[in-house]
């Protein structure tokens, strides 16, 4: 069980939780995982940003004038100063507009096409091999104990759905993320489709939105939540609150040799407190990549 987890306080806390969860009715065995930085490496860039940059290159190849738009110019030049000045919301809005009008099937095909060829920019391996092996083992162990496993991501719902089954065995309805709105389009032959708009439905799925959207979309309260950033704090505390056994697990990126060493921050969240101080104050279990994981990445 959990072969890539080294013996220690963290592994013991996980095993104790798993044992105690046997007392919980199966319908309440619900686990929710953040994606970027929790199940999948998020450095040097979120993989969704790499996908959007690939979409931008595609769009520019069709219509070079697109590259002149201020946000796209800064992205193509990787001009950090200009990007910072424009702000992530404006950048994201410009990228989202590139995909407006696509059906979910079109969008899914684009994402699958991207992952079929994409390699991590530094390690040069497919993104499947950037999944964290210890977390995959934890998911498998949870399922063997009749847990339902879901994802709650700050990333786009449809982007994560496109890889959810293949990467984690999570079906589309199990993905809670930042949502784009849809329009209903009726073709001349009477057929009805939904197409992407440029509008987000509600705020990004970070912070307080995570427990709200878990209830809205899934309707089930987790007793295990795993995350790695300030944007996961409310979700982790939400999982910790039930009367019975619960586990709030924070992945700490402290291994510059095998992964990356950084203080996790959500894209749209910054807090004065370090995430490790928050974890200590909140009673979360911390998984140190350096100390607790004997293997970091999935071999295949």
Residues of 78-113 as b/e, b for ≥16 C-beta within 10 angstroms?
Answer: eeeeebeebeeeebbebbbebbeebebeebbebbee
Q: How far is the CB of 46 from a copy of itself (least distance, A)?
A: 20
Q: How far is the CB of 170 from a copy of itself (least distance, A)?
A: 11
Residues that bind a copy of itself (CB under 8 A): 27, 104-105, 150, 157-158, 161, 165, 171-175, 179, 181-184, 186, 190-194, 201-202, 208, 211-212, 215-221, 234, 237-238, 240-241, 282
Q: How far is the CB of 194 from a copy of itself (least distance, A)?
A: 5
Select 51 or 107, whichever has its Cβ closest to a copy of itself.
107
Q: How far is the CB of 179 from a copy of itself (least distance, A)?
A: 6
Write down the residue that tokens 């950090």 correspond to.
80
Q: How far is the CB of 248 from a copy of itself (least distance, A)?
A: 10
Q: How far is the CB of 231 from a copy of itself (least distance, A)?
A: 13
Collapsing DSSP to helix, strand or coil, 249 comes out as: strand
Q: How far is the CB of 150 from a copy of itself (least distance, A)?
A: 8
Select 181 or 277, whichever has its Cβ closest to a copy of itself.
181
Select 64 or 190, whichever has its Cβ closest to a copy of itself.
190
* Spatial CB neighbours of 52, under 8 Å, sequence gap ≥ 6: 95, 98
Q: How far is the CB of 156 from a copy of itself (least distance, A)?
A: 11
**Of the candidates 174, 168, 176, 197, which has an alpha carbon nearest to the alpha carbon of residue 185?**
197
66 CA to centre of own chain: 29
- What Å distances lie between residue 82 and 54, 74, 90, CA to CA? 20, 6, 12
Spatial separation of the C-alpha atoms in residues 172 and 167, rounded to whole Å: 12
Select 212 or 268, whichever has its Cβ closest to a copy of itself.
212
Select 69 or 193, whichever has its Cβ closest to a copy of itself.
193
Spatial separation of the C-alpha atoms in residues 202 and 56, rounded to whole Å: 25
235 CA to centre of own chain: 13
Which strands form 285-288's sheet, in the order they lie side by side?
192-201, 175-186, 148-156, 30-33, 224-227, 247-252, 285-288
Select 43 or 220, whichever has its Cβ closest to a copy of itself.
220
Q: Cis peptide before 3, with omega less than 30 degrees from 0?
A: no
Select 134 or 207, whichever has its Cβ closest to a copy of itself.
207
Q: Report yes or no: 54 and 174 within 8 Å, Cβ to Cβ.
A: no
Select 39 or 162, whichever has its Cβ closest to a copy of itself.
162
Instruction: Fill in the DSSP letter of residue 215.
Output: I
Question: In sequence order, what DSSP letters do the residues of 228-248 get, joined into one string?
Answer: -SGGGHHHHHHHH-SSS--EE
């Amino acid at each position: 069980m959990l072969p890539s987890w080294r013996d220690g306080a963290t592994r013991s806390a996980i095993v104790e939780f798993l044992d105690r969860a046997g007392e919980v009715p199966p319908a309440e065995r619900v686990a929710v995982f953040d994606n970027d930085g929790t199940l999948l490496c998020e450095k040097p860039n979120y993989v969704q940003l790499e996908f959007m940059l690939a979409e931008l290159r595609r769009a520019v190849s069709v219509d070079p004038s697109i590259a002149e738009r201020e946000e796209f110019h800064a992205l193509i030049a990787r001009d950090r100063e200009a990007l910072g000045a424009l702000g992530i919301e404006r950048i994201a809005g410009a990228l989202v507009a590139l995909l407006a009008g696509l059906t979910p099937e079109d969008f899914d095909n684009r994402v699958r096409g991207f992952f079929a060829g994409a390699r991590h920019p530094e390690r040069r391996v497919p993104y499947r091999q950037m999944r964290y092996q210890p977390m995959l083992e934890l998911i498998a162990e949870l399922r063997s104990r009749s847990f339902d496993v879901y994802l709650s991501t700050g990333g786009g719902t449809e982007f994560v759905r496109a890889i959810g089954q293949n990467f984690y065995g999570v079906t589309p309805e199990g993905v809670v993320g930042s949502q784009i709105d849809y329009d209903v389009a009726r073709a001349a032959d009477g057929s009805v489709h939904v197409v992407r708009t440029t509008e987000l439905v509600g705020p990004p799925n970070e912070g307080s939105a995570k427990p709200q959207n878990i209830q809205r979309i899934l309707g089930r309260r987790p007793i295990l939540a795993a995350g790695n950033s300030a944007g996961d704090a409310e979700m982790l505390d939400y999982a910790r609150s039930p009367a019975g056994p619960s586990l709030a697990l924070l992945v700490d990126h402290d291994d510059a040799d095998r992964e990356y060493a950084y203080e996790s921050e959500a894209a749209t969240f910054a807090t004065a407190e370090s995430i490790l101080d928050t974890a200590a104050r909140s009673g979360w279990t911390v998984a140190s990549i350096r100390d607790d994981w004997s293997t970091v990445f999935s071999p295949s």
